[in-house]
Structure 1
Amino acid sequence: MGIFDKIKHAIFGEAKAAEPVAAGAPTTEPAPAPAAPSANPSPAPAQQSKPVTTATVDIVPILDAAAKKSGQKLDWRRSIVDLMKAVGMDASLTERKELAAELGYTGDTNDSAKMNMWLHKALMKRLSENGGKVPADLLD
């Protein structure tokens, strides 16, 4: 499990972390099959799909509660380090460099300030793409 998946799991919970569906994207589920064949068989109708929408997870109250529960003054809205700490993860430079690699960072990983700002924005975008309700001001 990668760093992003660990963060996603910590925020969304076990069930939501297993769903790779983008926010608001409908999924399809096959319609139930007919119970029994009729006495007058006719060609079976084509299976129809009904759309099932995936609920989004509002990250704000979850991360606010996690930051409060930590007992530390954490600003998860602006800091990738604080966000990782809020969800109980190791926020070391090594972990952040690994997350940067997962999310496709191409800049200098030794410039941690620049990398951290990019990481926070990229993480918010990725959470949004995976079913998270992220405030617009955190999406860039």
Structure 2
Amino acid sequence: MGFFSKILDKLGFDAGASKVEEMLRTPVPPKAPAGGATSTLGAGAAASAPTATATPATAAPRAASQVDVTAQLEQKAAANPQKLNWRTSIVDLLKLLDIDSSLQARKELATELGCPPDLMADSAKMNMWLHKAVMQKLAANGGKVPAELLD
């Protein structure tokens, strides 16, 4: 299980959310060319060609149900004795979810999400990038995230 999958699990995303996350990282295979490719095939093969190109892999993956990320985090924050600023701090966000927030753990998460190497050298810049990237990935996996947390 990847580090981001732990975040999905802690926020109550469906069990299939890890599969959605994996699908988002997997490139979609290119579609077969239209028109000319079927002209060299026999009549029987041409008739079956359209069904071969209409695969579920071309459909955009979605989580089975949308998770209200803000509501989940606000509920956890209200129950937490610490005052954690999860809206801007990746460290506080991870602490709120009871996930390792050490520098090494954040570097692991940043690597998993594709943080540019120049930002990895500066922990403050990496943290800002990482918070935004986590929020964007949550939204991409079916989470309801306010626009101000995505910018």
AA partner of residue 10 (structure 1): K
- With the length of structure 2 as denominator, give the TM-score of the two structures: 0.67
Deviation at 1:65?
1.3
Q: How many aligned residue pairs are there?
A: 111
More helix by share: 2
More strand by share: 1
| DSSP 3-state at the match of 2:20 | coil
AA partner of residue 103 (structure 1): L
AA partner of residue 109 (structure 1): M
AA partner of residue 138 (structure 1): L
| DSSP 3-state at the match of 2:119 | coil
| Runs of 4+ more than 6 Å apart | none
How far, CA to CA, are the matches of 1:18 and 1:12 in structure 2? 12
Deviation at 1:139?
0.7
- With the length of structure 1 as denominator, give the TM-score of the two structures: 0.72
5+ residue gaps, structure 2? 24-61
RMSD: 2.1
How far, CA to CA, are the matches of 1:87 and 1:15 in structure 2? 17
Q: Equivalent pairs: percent with the same residue?
A: 51
Deviation at 1:61?
1.0
Q: Residue in 1 aligned with 2:73?
A: 63
How far, CA to CA, are the matches of 2:127 and 2:91 in structure 1? 8
How far, CA to CA, are the matches of 1:77 and 1:127 in structure 2? 13
Match of 2:136 among 125, 133, 137: 125
How far, CA to CA, are the matches of 2:107 and 2:18 in structure 1? 24
Deviation at 1:86?
0.4
Q: How does 1:58-97 map to 2 (within 5 A)?
A: 58-97=68-107
How far, CA to CA, are the matches of 1:120 and 1:108 in structure 2? 13
